[in-house]
Amino acid sequence: MYPAHIESYYRPTTVAEALAAITRQPEGDSMFLAGGQSLMQAIKSRMVRPTSIVDLQSVAELRGIDQANGLRIGAMTRYVEIAEYEQFPAAYAALRDAAERVGDRQVRNRGTIGGSVCWNYVASCLPSVVLALNGTMSLASADGSIRDVKAKDFIIAPLETARREDEILLCVSWPKPPPKTGSAYKKWGLVTDALPVVGMCVSISLDDLGKCRTAQVAVAGLADGAQIADAGGAALIGSAGDEASISAAMNDVADSVETHSDHWADASYREQLIKRLGVEVTLRAFARARR
Amino acid sequence: MASNPQKTNDSWMGSRLARKEDLRLVTGQGKYISDIVLPRMLHAVFVRSDRAHAKIVSIDTSAALALPGVVCVVTGDDIVDELRSMPQPVLLPNLPAKYPTFYPLCVGKVKFHGAPVALVIARDKYVAEDAAELVEIEYEELPVVVDPEAALEPGAPLINEDHDDNEIFSMTFTGGTTQAEHDANDKEVEEIFQNADVTIKERFRVHRTGLTPMEPRGVLCDWSDSDGLTAWITTQRPHIDRLAIIDLLDIPADKVRVIAPRDQGGGFGVKAPFFRENVIIAHMARKLGQPVRWIESRYESLMNVGQERDQINYLEVAATQDGKLLALRNRGIADNGTGETGVYWGFVMPFLGAVELPNTYTWDKADVKLRVAVTNKACLTPSRAFGHFPTRFAIERAVDMIAHKIGMEPSDLRRKNLIPHLPYTSTTGEYYDSGDFVQVWDNLMSHIDMAKFREEQQAARSEGRYIGIGFGTGVELSGMASEVLVPMENQPGYGAASVRLDPRGTALVFGGDAPGGQGHETSVAQIVASAFGIEPQDTVTTTGDTATTPFGSGTIGARGASYFMSAVHNACVEIKVKIARILAHDLGISATLDDFEFVDGQVVLRSDRSVKKSFRDIVERIIMHPINMPPGEVGGLEATVYFEAAKPMICFNADFCTVEVDIHSGEFKITKWVSSEDVGNVINPLIVDGQMHGAIVQGLSNTMFEEFIYNDQGQQLTADFENYKIANAADMPDIEVTYSPSPCPHTPLGTRGIGEGRPSSVPGALSNAICDALLPFGIEITELPLRPGAIWKKIQESQA
Amino acid sequence: MQTINVKVNGTTYQESVPIRMLLVDFIREVVGLTGTHVSCTYEGVCGACTIHLNGEAVKSCMLLAVQADGHEITTVEGLANDKELSPLQKAFNEQHGLQCGFCTAGVLMNMTEFLAKNPNPSDDEIRHGLIGNLCRCTGYVHIVNAVRAAAKSIAN
Amino acid sequence: MELAEEIRINATRDIVFAALNNVEILKQAIPGCEALEATSATEFTATVVSKIGPLKARFTGNVTLVDVIAPQSYTMVGEGKGGPAGFAKMRTFVHLTDEGESTLLRYEVKADIGGKLAQLGGALISSTSKKLAGIFFGNFEALLNGERAIERSSE
């Protein structure tokens, strides 16, 4: 209920200070605190016991959405800012679909995209979205170096990412999208806006004839966390956006991923949700791509 | 504050008065238990078992004790000789059951995941939690029993070792009192089944779910050698808690005062039992001579209380081809959990559930039996719709299944079998005092055009859309008469109130029952204002302090409007009689209460309305200037009245809802919910509407989302709100509450108590609507919760 | 321990607090404003502890007090303006939007910000906005009515 | 949680079985193993730190080998207490089959967790068990081949 003892708290104002602070602690675990909407749960339940916290709330350079050169979303950008951002190109609209349905208003006022993808909870929306949209994660180290990691290499397993504990996620970014590209995300949970029992994110681009040229499908809510479903991406290629071909592709997705049973849904229902939500979001992605 | 609506017919009865309580609650000035802080107060944290069934081999508290700020750590062995075990007589129903012996902290073994093993007391609550982590307990695991049917098998591992099996309670509810009478009755029922045109037989299962007040439990105890113990407890029944503490801790009766804080964050039955935590906190406060407070975490709360329902009912119904219900036969099995909770012991709920099985329908005969099994789960705690949520789900579903079988409209079948005239005694012996079921039903049906709905349903189906309508009815107890409560809970059923007028014309009302959000202060004010012709703001109500209030059995079983409010009214009348007597004397006339009217702050002589005196003046005269009094009369205006109705009382409701089901996902949307209520004369419709909305949504949330899940190791996996899912606003429909009242002849104001049992017609109505929508697939729901995945699976199976 | 400066309902508090202290405990136990409630353990799902942090509705049980250093907080005690209830507080009373009152402070704080951002909401939007506040008593019907009524009253 | 896998090891059955009974090899192969001491031929005490991303729990407990049929199969039964986090129980059946010069090792793991771990980490048990078992047998194979354990823990 209450956090275990915490030795120190830092609130840096720059990335450099943040990285210096995280490496300052020789003993124990030093952790970055972003929005805290997941991490604080873990800290309060004492499943996580940092001895030092580096609070990123005041690092201005980590915050904001910028389309000067493609799309760049600072790691400390909150869900509410993504949900209310109206200039997303159709290609990246899934980000908004997901952000406006994360948790609740209070969580969206506080929780961040960077926190979400770095925490990479087993049932979580944003990791699947960055996977389907093939985002690039920029990680900075104390030595001043920055490395870019593609989402598929960044998202490793539930609660595990390619980020080292002494690295900071600067932003998630995308290039300027090709024309006729669209994406969409939707999840299902037992109560409205709950963590995804299944979440589906689809990103597609169309050729001049309106047929699917490239596609990427990601599934949230699996026992192994968010996953790319290659089968679905491959099967969508060539689709004209008709329900039959999309439905066939989503059947492939359901067949290709391993679904599990838990209190909320059994494996077969998860498959059905993958198909149902998959068709719905793919149709929406097509519609957005055509605009 | 809000502008108050006008009173109607010179009375505040029936007015949609905005609540008096709200001013403090919307401004953050409520005083809940966790807001009460005493000097030198210590903080208590329980160390709870992470095993479901295990011997305690050893407990090492040394590391915890060594932590700076820790005052003490106690275990079961430390306190077993210092206080009495439960059960004590005050906490025992007069029902034949095997009551387990237990202590506030586990002694020897743990019987469920979450059982209290040790208690840490520290000067700081954070430190107390640090120390709790350091208590090392070594267990030796014992075989775990989580299935009630398995628990009843011969040779099942024994949970309460002072007994020879796991059956805590069993009873036959029909046919008489002797075995021979039961056998004869059962034979007659069997004959009806043999000869019936149509029968159904199903296993109806309702999962473990219940209520979770937003405020968890809490206890704060203070001890002084001169005044003894003062215990603030989140409780619906402070007077019972007081007696229990006196007996368990052997404290002289003059030295125990229990206070239910004025503001409590909901109860719903969950705060009605007497809990083991109360005893140990009181004991430690006495021992340490220092205030000790325990505030339950949500985690503890979900592990320990609010778990109810959890029954299997093997129900059979026999009927004629033209839809006359003939007989029912039920073999109920309830999962009691450990049985370690005072007053109810788990089984009292399924006991009442079995009694209420026949519901609103007439039956020629019934054969109803119940067995209750002890398992390695938390003991059942009462939750609104006490015990009958599962039995009502079963009966309401069974009625629809009969209707489907004979091709009759379920609504027609219901109307045909509604108890036509009251009073009536049900086949299980429950007395239904008054009301008009048919009128309430017809009022409900006036809100739906069935023929039109069936046309729309047909049209929708042709488009691949599946809409449906479902009905449910419910009888609930309107308070509990002593005649019912003495056998069931060993407590009186009467309502009690003290009304005291102060010299400035203000009414002070004292009640022993402790509310948790039902708006007692407002309802009382309306009754008092109506009685004395004063304004509602001129009444102040105090509840829940045993030092100042008359004895009351608690805010339980919808006894507010039936018993407590009746006592308030009668106390007012008693005072008015005295006022009238003295006023007549002062006026030099011969007059009694009937000759006066109390209105607009005046006491007016009806026969000559120019003869009047202000209420405040006459009150002040009687209290402050008791000279020139009628012979034998003394001053002062106060009355304490106990109210017991001539008969046990009920209230009644009927619901319908419409749904649309997506057959490709099993998801459904509730498109309409309408209720029809007979709650007698309504004191405040705004409050009653709110009670109904809340109860119906609790029923829906229980039916659709909430479930306490134990795995086969007895691990309770739903100890937070991420996993124990409660309906949020976006999940729930709007609700239309309508009234078809018949005044209760047994209460002075014609009021009925409402709300306790109200969630119980919900699971049947909703399931019936879904089955109605899915009639082309022939789906009959027999199990809760109603998860989309399960519905989708049934659709798949029907198509296979 | 760390010294923090936090403005609560217009008054600045300079206090030394343990780093692990939750903001809700700071508000309730250090500042002494107990209108903000705690109903869940660590999960932060119930919303009873919702406050405004720099004008935004957030759950104060999901923050450390040190995170609020240098910021402004409004609690339910700060909603009324010089004893005059806010339109939302008034509407909750008139529409019977509360029963036990335990969740109410959080609902009021969340919906105050909600209405500021969305002055003319539909019922669906109100219900969706309320997801972060669990209420066990009201079934939400009167809460929705109250928010709707408050929106109207603010508009007039 | 149950899972079953097969791996092929380039060593004879006798060698593999001996290694399966070798405290040093087991100690190096078990991910996060801080201590493993034999108290008899088939009984060990163990301290293991299990780490899933930022979640960390230290388990202390016992490991017992039962149903030992040399050089073919045994079942490793372990139970560890993770302090306030709860406890974990694991039962691993290991079966060896000759495949020419190499050995087919089949393992079946049944894992149970209790306490807060089960309540808060239940959704993670499947991926975690799979991962830990994979690391263990991967390490085991590497050690048999004379290599250093590839991964000492899940970090």
Q: Which of D115, D96, D114 is nearest to D106 (CA)?
A: D96
B33-142+216-264+271-304 and B308-482+646-799 share one CATH topology?
no
Structure tokens at B1: 């504050």
Whether B377 has a pLDDT exceeding 50, the answer reads: yes
pLDDT tens for each residue of B499-516 = 999 999 999 999 999 999
Identify all chain D residues contacting A159, using CB atoms and an 8 Å cutoff. 52-55, 124
Sheet arrangement for strand C2-8: C11-17, C2-8, C72-74, C50-53, C56-59
pLDDT tens for each residue of B302-323 = 999 999 999 999 999 999 999 9
What band does B11 get if pLDDT is binned at 50, 70 and 90? confident
Domain locations in chain B as residue ranges: 33-142+216-264+271-304, 308-482+646-799, 494-643
Any chain B CB within 8 A of the CB of C105?
yes
Whether B2 has a pLDDT exceeding 60, the answer reads: no
Shortest alpha-carbon distance between residue B357 and chain C (Å): 26
**Predicted pLDDT at B10:** 62
Pairing between strand B116-122 and B602-605? unpaired
Q: Cα separation of B554 and B514, whole Å?
A: 6
Q: Does the distance separating the beta carbons of D123 and A47 come in below 8 Å?
A: no
Strand partners, B218: B295
Q: Cα separation of D79 and D56, whole Å?
A: 17
- Nearest CB partner across the interface for D114, out of B51, B719, B720: B51
Q: How many helices (H) and strands (E) does chain C have?
A: 5, 5
Any chain A CB within 8 A of the CB of D121?
yes
Whether B468 has a pLDDT exceeding 80, the answer reads: yes
Amino acid at C123: D
Amino acid at A75: A
Q: Which of C125, C123, C112, C136 is nearest to C45 (CA)?
A: C136
Identify all chain C residues contacting B298, using CB atoms and an 8 Å cutoff. 39-41, 43, 46
Strand partners, A201: A185, A218
**Predicted pLDDT at D152:** 44
- The answer to whether B725 touches A190, Cβ cutoff 8 Å, is yes
Q: Does the distance separating the beta carbons of D84 and A159 come in below 8 Å?
A: no
Q: Does the interface ipTM go beyond 0.95? A: yes
- Mapped onto helix, strand or coil, the DSSP state of residue B152 is coil
Shortest alpha-carbon distance between residue A65 and chain D (Å): 28
Tens of pLDDT along chain A (291 residues) come to 899 999 999 999 999 999 999 988 766 689 999 999 999 999 999 999 999 999 999 999 999 999 999 999 999 999 999 999 999 999 999 999 999 999 999 999 999 999 999 999 999 999 999 999 999 999 999 999 999 999 999 999 999 999 999 999 999 999 999 999 999 999 999 999 999 999 999 999 999 999 999 999 999 999 999 999 999 999 999 999 999 999 999 999 999 999 999 989 999 999 999 999 999 999 999 999 998
- The answer to whether B567 touches B497, Cβ cutoff 8 Å, is yes
Write down the residue that tokens 């909750």 correspond to.
C92
Q: Cα separation of B248 and B259, whole Å?
A: 18
**Predicted pLDDT at A25:** 72
Identify all chain B residues contacting D114, using CB atoms and an 8 Å cutoff. 50-51, 113, 713, 715
Other CB atoms within a 10 A radius of the CB of residue B369 amount to 18
Q: Does the distance separating the beta carbons of A6 and C19 come in below 8 Å?
A: yes
**Predicted pLDDT at B478:** 93
Assigned CATH for A62-174: 3.30.465.10
Write down the residue that tokens 């919702």 correspond to.
C50
- b/e code B571-581 from CB counts within 10 Å (16+ = b): bbebbbebbbb
Whether B664 has a pLDDT exceeding 90, the answer reads: yes
Q: Does the distance separating the beta carbons of D120 and A47 come in below 8 Å?
A: yes
Q: Where are the alpha helices (DSSP H) in B161-208?
A: 179-195
Mean of all residue pLDDT scores within chain B = 96
What band does B5 get if pLDDT is binned at 50, 70 and 90? very low
CATH architecture of residue range(s) D2-144: 2-Layer Sandwich (3.30)
Any chain A CB within 8 A of the CB of B711?
no
Pick the CATH number of B308-482+646-799 from 3.30.70.2740, 3.30.365.10, 3.40.50.300, 3.30.1490.100: 3.30.365.10
Interface test with A, best of D127, D128, D135 (most A CBs within 10 A): D127
Mean of all residue pLDDT scores within chain C = 97
Q: Cα separation of B338 and B121, whole Å?
A: 26
Q: Cα separation of B781 and B401, whole Å?
A: 10
**Closest-CA residue in chain D for A225?**
D127
Average pLDDT over residues B474-486: 91
Identify all chain A residues contacting C22, using CB atoms and an 8 Å cutoff. 2-3, 44
Establish, for the pair of chains B and C, how many residue pairs have beta carbons separated by less than 8 Å: 191
Angle at B197 between CA B196 and CA B203, to 5 degrees: 70
- Mapped onto helix, strand or coil, the DSSP state of residue B646 is coil
First to last CA, chain A: 49
Structure tokens at B441: 């039903």
- The answer to whether B76 touches B107, Cβ cutoff 8 Å, is yes
Q: Does the distance separating the beta carbons of C47 and A106 come in below 8 Å?
A: yes
- Mapped onto helix, strand or coil, the DSSP state of residue A139 is strand
- The answer to whether B216 touches B392, Cβ cutoff 8 Å, is no
Q: How many helices (H) and strands (E) does chain B have?
A: 21, 28
Q: Cα separation of A88 and A120, whole Å?
A: 23
Q: Where are the alpha helices (DSSP H) in C37-103?
A: 87-94
Which residues, in sequence order, are CB contacts of C15 under 8 Å at separation 6+?
A: C3, C4, C6, C26, C30
Q: Which CATH class is domain C2-78?
A: alpha beta
- The answer to whether B582 touches B625, Cβ cutoff 8 Å, is no
Backbone angles phi and psi of A225, in degrees to 5: 85, -165
Any idea of the CA torsion for C21, C23, C27, C29, to the nearest 10 degrees?
A: -20
Whether B248 has a pLDDT exceeding 70, the answer reads: yes
Assigned CATH for B33-142+216-264+271-304: 3.90.1170.50
Q: Which CATH class is domain C87-155?
A: mainly alpha
pLDDT tens for each residue of B534-550 = 999 999 999 999 999 99
Q: Cα separation of B300 and B716, whole Å?
A: 11
Tens of pLDDT along chain D (155 residues) come to 888 999 999 899 999 999 999 999 999 999 999 999 999 989 999 999 988 888 888 999 999 999 999 999 999 999 999 988 999 999 999 999 999 889 999 999 999 999 999 998 888 888 888 888 899 999 998 888 776 555 444 33
**Predicted pLDDT at C135:** 98
**Predicted pLDDT at D147:** 65
**Predicted pLDDT at B9:** 54
- The answer to whether C115 touches C147, Cβ cutoff 8 Å, is yes
- The answer to whether C66 touches C17, Cβ cutoff 8 Å, is yes
pLDDT tens for each residue of B382-423 = 999 999 999 999 999 999 999 999 999 999 999 999 999 999
Sheet arrangement for strand B136-141: B109-110, B54-60, B136-141
Identify all chain B residues contacting D122, using CB atoms and an 8 Å cutoff. 717
Q: Cα separation of B649 and C86, whole Å?
A: 42
Whether B653 has a pLDDT exceeding 80, the answer reads: yes
Pairing between strand B668-678 and B466-477? unpaired
- Nearest CB partner across the interface for D127, out of A29, A39, A223: A223
Q: Which CATH class is domain B494-643?
A: alpha beta
Over its C-alpha atoms, chain D yields an Rg (Å, rounded) of: 15
CATH topology of domain A181-290: Enolase-like; domain 1 (3.30.390)
Establish, for the pair of chains A and B, how many residue pairs have beta carbons separated by less than 8 Å: 49
**Predicted pLDDT at B3:** 39
Shortest alpha-carbon distance between residue A71 and chain D (Å): 29
Whether B8 has a pLDDT exceeding 80, the answer reads: no
Q: Cα separation of B655 and C45, whole Å?
A: 31
Backbone angles phi and psi of B46, in degrees to 5: -85, 140
**Predicted pLDDT at B647:** 87
Q: Cα separation of B571 and B638, whole Å?
A: 8
CB-neighbour burial class of residue B790 (10 A; exposed 0-12, middle 13-18, buried 19+): middle
Other CB atoms within a 10 A radius of the CB of residue A131 amount to 27
Interface of A with B in 94-113 (CB under 8 A): 104
Q: Where are the alpha helices (DSSP H) in chain A?
A: 15-24, 39-44, 79-83, 93-99, 105-108, 113-119, 126-132, 151-154, 230-236, 243-256, 267-290
What letter would DSSP give residue A76?
T
**Predicted pLDDT at A24:** 82
Angle at B242 between CA B237 and CA B245, to 5 degrees: 125
